[in-house]
A and B are shown apart, each in its own frame.
Chain A
Amino acid sequence: MSIFVDERTKVVIQGISPSSQGLYHGLRNRAYGTDVVAGTNPKRGGETIEGIPVFSTVAEAVAETGANASFISVPPPFAAEAIVEAAEAGVPFVVCITEGIPAHDEARAYNVLVRDFPGTRLLGPNCPGVISPGTCNIGITSGDIALPGGPVGLVSRSGTVFYQALYELTQKGIGQTTGVGIGGDPVPGTSFTDVLAAFEADPETKAVLMIGEIGGSAEEQAAEFIRAEMSKPVVAYIAGVTAPPGRKMGHAGAIISGSHGTAKAKMEALSAAGVTVAQNPTEAGERMVDVVKNLG
C-alpha cells in the first residue's frame, strides 16, 4: 500500500505544451507506469500531444477522463491560479513543483483551499512530488532511484536530499512504500505532520525516514507529533548541521518561532521525541538498515 497515490491514480498535466516542463516530466512519469490521462491548456483544447488528450480546463479534463490527481509545473506567475483551478474542478490531489511562487500568492491559494475546498490536498509548491515505487510517480523524481516493496516511508522538505535519501535506501536494499517531497516553501500545502499521520495509518509502512532542513519550525512541530502520536520508528536527518548562522533583518520571525531554526535545536527536539537522528544522509540510511532489521 502507499499514501496519497496508488494504481488508481489518474493524472492530468496542467499547462501542457510541446515544449513545457510539464510534458517532459509527465512523459517520464508515464514511462514509469503512471496513468497520465489528460493535459490542459486554454489554447490547445482538442489537441493531442504525445498521445495525451488536451482540454481547455481542468474541469473538462476531470469530466472526460476521471482524472483524480493533477501535476502543475507552470511558471510562478500562474501557479497559484492553477492550484485553485484544480481544486475548483474537484481534483482531490494536486502536486505543484513550481519554484519561485510569490509567498503572498501561495498563502492566499492555501487558505482558499482550506476554506472552500477541504477535499483537495496540495503537495508543494516547490517540491519534487510523490512516488509510490513501482506504481505511480508524479513530479520530477527520477523513478529508477526508488525501490518498490516497502517497508519505509520517506518524507522530505528538501528536494535534492529527498532523492539522495531515496537512493541511500535503495542502494542498501530497503524499499519504500511512498516517498513524499513536501517542499521547502513558506506555505507548503502538505506538512510533515500530515505525511507522518498518513504513514502512521498505513499498514504497509513500518518505519519512516524524515529529512528536514534549517529554518522555520516545521521539524519541531513534527517532533511533537511523533512524540504524541507515532508508534512507528522514525530516523531523521536535518540538512545544514554545519551551516553558519544566517543574517536576519527584522525580529518578527524569531518571535513567532521562538527559536532561530538551527539544525541543533531541531535535532534535539527530534531526539527528545525518540527519533534516531543521523548526521548526514548516508548515516541516515545506515540507521534505517538497523531499524528495519529490528522490525522482526
Chain B
Amino acid sequence: MDLYEYQGKQYFARFGIPVSAGGAADTVDEAVARAEEVGYPVVVKAQVKVGGRGKAGGIKLAADAGEVRAHASAILGMDIKGHVVHRVWIERSSDIAREYYASFTLDRTAKKHLCMVSAKGGVDIEEVAATDPGAIARRHVDPVDGLSAAAAAELVAEAGLDEEARAQAAALLVKLYTCYVEGDCDLAEVNPLILTTDGRVHALDAKVTLDDNAAFRHPEWEEFAGTETSDPREKLAKEKGLQYVGLDGFVGIIANGAGLAMSTCDVVEQVGGEPANFLDIGGGANAAQMANALEVINSDENVRSIFINIFGGITRGEEVANGIVEAMGRVDISSPIVIRLDGTNAEEGRRILADQASGRLESVPTMIEAARRATELARGDER
C-alpha cells in the first residue's frame, strides 16, 4: 500500500523523523485554517500518488490567506496524470540550503536491505543514477544486524553531505531504518532530505510503501485504508478482496495465481482477443471468492465473454465449481462463460459443473482453445 505524502510524513513522525509542521485539508476553507495554524509562508501541496506534481502546478508557495485560498482552489480538483486531487497538505515553508536523497528498500538480488544516500537530492534520482552513479552512496544492511550508528555516519560522509548536516543526517538515517523495519515498509524514501539555512536537517517529502502482508500486526494502518481509484470495477474488486486490474478489452478473465492470470491475458491477446481485466482469485480460493469474482466481472459493461482459467494446486476444483454455481444463483451473469479447469480435484469440479451448470457455460480442455472460444464468443462469431 502506497501512502500519500502527508500520511508518509505522519508515519515518519511516529518514528521521530523530523518533518515540517503541517496539516491536511479537503476544502479551501480547511486549507486556510491549516495555514493559519502552521504560520506563513506555507506550501500548498497536492496529495496524489504520482510523481511530477510540481511541474503540473500542484505545489505552490503562499504568503498569506488570500494566496492559500487561490492556490487551494486551483489545486483541489486538479487532474494530475489521471489522478484527481481531493486533498492538499499545507505545511510551513522551509528555507532550503541543500537538498539530499535517502532511501531504504529491499535489494532482491543481494537479498539484503539497501540504503542509498546522495548529496544530489531534490531532482529525479533515477536520472542521477544513470548519469552520475558515483553520486549515490550505497550500503547493504543485513537484516540480522541492522544499521549501526557508525555505518550511518560513514554513509553520509561517503555521500558527500555537507559537514554541518552529517550528524543530523546520520541520526535521521538510523530512525528511517527503524521506521522501514518496525514500520514494515517495502520502501521508505526521502527526496529531498533538506538542510535548512538555519542548519536543521529534515524530510521535506515522504514516499512510503507499506507491506500489505504485515497489516495483521499494524492495526494502526486502518486509517490509511481506502482507495483512490476512480475505476468502479477496481473499487468493487477491492471491497471483495480480489487482486484486480481493469483493462480496456472485452474478454473478462478470472484465473488463480498472478502468473496464470497474466499468462491468461497473454494467451487471450495472442489469439486476437482483448482482456477486459486481470483478476487473480488467489491461492486456496473458495466458492465465495469465485462468486465474488464473477460478480465483479459481470459489473463490467465492456465484458462480452468470461474466461475462467483455473489450474488447481492449493485451489480445489470442487470449490471453484461450487462458486460458479453459487454465483449463477446469486447474480444474473450476462455474458457467456468459458471454463478451463485442471489440477487438484478438477474431475470433481467438472462433474459438478456438468450436473448443475450445463448449458450455461462451456468447458474447454486446454488454455489456448478456451482463450480462442472465449474470444469467438465475445466477437459474436458463433451467434
A residues near B, CB below 8 A?
A: 21, 25, 28, 76-77, 97, 99-104, 107-108, 110-112, 114-115, 128, 139-142, 145, 156-164, 167, 184, 186-187, 211, 213-214, 216-218, 221, 237, 239-244, 247, 249-257, 279-282
Instruction: Check B26 for interface membership: any CB of A closer than 8 A.
Output: no
* Chain A nearest CB, measured from B345 CB (Å): 8
Question: Which residue from chain B places its CB closest to the CB of A100 in the assembled complex?
Answer: B213
- Residue from A128, A249, A281 in contact with B209 in the complex, judged by beta carbons closer than 8 Å: A249
Partner of A250, one of B112, B189, B275: B189
Q: Do B2 and A249 touch across chains, with their CB atoms under 8 A apart?
A: yes
B223 to chain A, nearest CB (A): 19
Q: What separation, in Å, do the CA atoms of A256 and B126 have in the docked complex?
A: 10
Interface residues of B in 260-290 (CB under 8 A from A): 260, 262-263, 265-267, 269-270, 275, 278, 282-284
The reply to whether A281 and B275 form a contact with Cβ atoms under 8 Å apart is no
B266-A280 in contact (CB<8A): yes
Q: A110-B111, A141-B313, A244-B245 are in contact. List 7 more A-B contacts (CB 8 A).
A: A97-B314, A103-B184, A107-B112, A114-B111, A159-B283, A164-B263, A252-B189
Q: Are B258 and A102 in contact, with the CB atoms below 8 A?
A: no
Contact flag A251-B189 (CB < 8 Å), given A145-B343, A159-B257: yes
* With known contacts A160-B259, A213-B262, A256-B105, A142–B143 Cβ distance under 8 A: no
Q: If the complex has contacts A160-B313, A242-B275, A249-B2, are A255 and B256 also in contact, measured as CB distance less than 8 A?
A: no
Residues from 358 to 383 in B contacting A, C-beta threshold 8 Å: 366-368
Residue A103 contacts which of B49, B186, B216 (CB distance < 8 angstroms)?
Answer: B186
Residues of B within 8 A of A253 (CB): 105, 187
Give the CA-CA distance A101 to B267 in the complex, in Å. Answer: 30
* Cβ of A87 to closest chain B Cβ, rounded Å: 13
B116 adjacent to chain A (CB < 8 Å): yes
Chain A residues, Cβ within 8 Å of B284: 21
Question: How far is the CB of B49 from the nearest CB of chain A, in Å?
Answer: 7
Q: What separation, in Å, do the CA atoms of A103 and B185 have in the docked complex?
A: 9
**Are B313 and A128 closer than 8 Å at their CB atoms?**
yes
Check B214 for interface membership: any CB of A closer than 8 A.
yes
Whether A250 contacts B368 by the Cβ 8 Å rule is: no
Instruction: Give the residues in chain A near B263, CB-CB below 8 Å.
Output: 158, 161, 164, 237, 239-240, 280-281
- Asked whether B111 lies within 8 Å of A107 as measured between CB atoms, the reply is yes
Residues on B lying within 8 angstroms of A by beta carbon are 2, 49-50, 103-109, 111-114, 116, 124-126, 129, 136, 142-144, 181, 184, 186-187, 189, 191, 207, 209, 211, 213-214, 216-217, 245, 247, 255-260, 262-263, 265-267, 269-270, 275, 278, 282-284, 311-314, 342-344, 346, 366-368
Query: Which residue on A lies nearest to B126, using beta carbons?
Result: A251
- A256 near B107 with CB under 8 A, answer yes
Contact of A159 among B103, B259, B270 (CB under 8 A): B259
Q: State how many angstroms separate the Cβ of B302 from the closest Cβ of chain A.
A: 16
B105, A221: Cβ atoms closer than 8 Å = no
Task: Evaluate contact between A158 and B257: CB separation under 8 angstroms.
Answer: yes
Determine if A101 and B213 form an interchain contact, defined as CB atoms under 8 angstroms apart: yes
Q: Tell me which of A211, A213, A242 has the highest count of chain B C-beta atoms within 10 A of its own C-beta.
A: A242
Q: Are B265 and A242 in contact (CB under 8 A)?
A: yes
Q: Are A111 and B144 in contact (CB under 8 A)?
A: yes
Alpha-carbon separation in the docked complex, A162 to B142 (Å) = 31
A102 and B275 contact, CB distance less than 8 A? no
Which residues of chain B come closer than 8 Å to A282, judged between CB atoms? 267, 366-368
Contact indicator A186/B106 (Cβ below 8 Å): yes
For B367, give its contact among A100, A244, A281 (CB under 8 Å).
A281
Q: Is the CB of B214 within 8 A of A102?
A: yes
Is the Cβ of A186 less than 8 Å from the Cβ of B108? Answer: yes
CA–CA, A205 to B237, complex, Å? Answer: 43
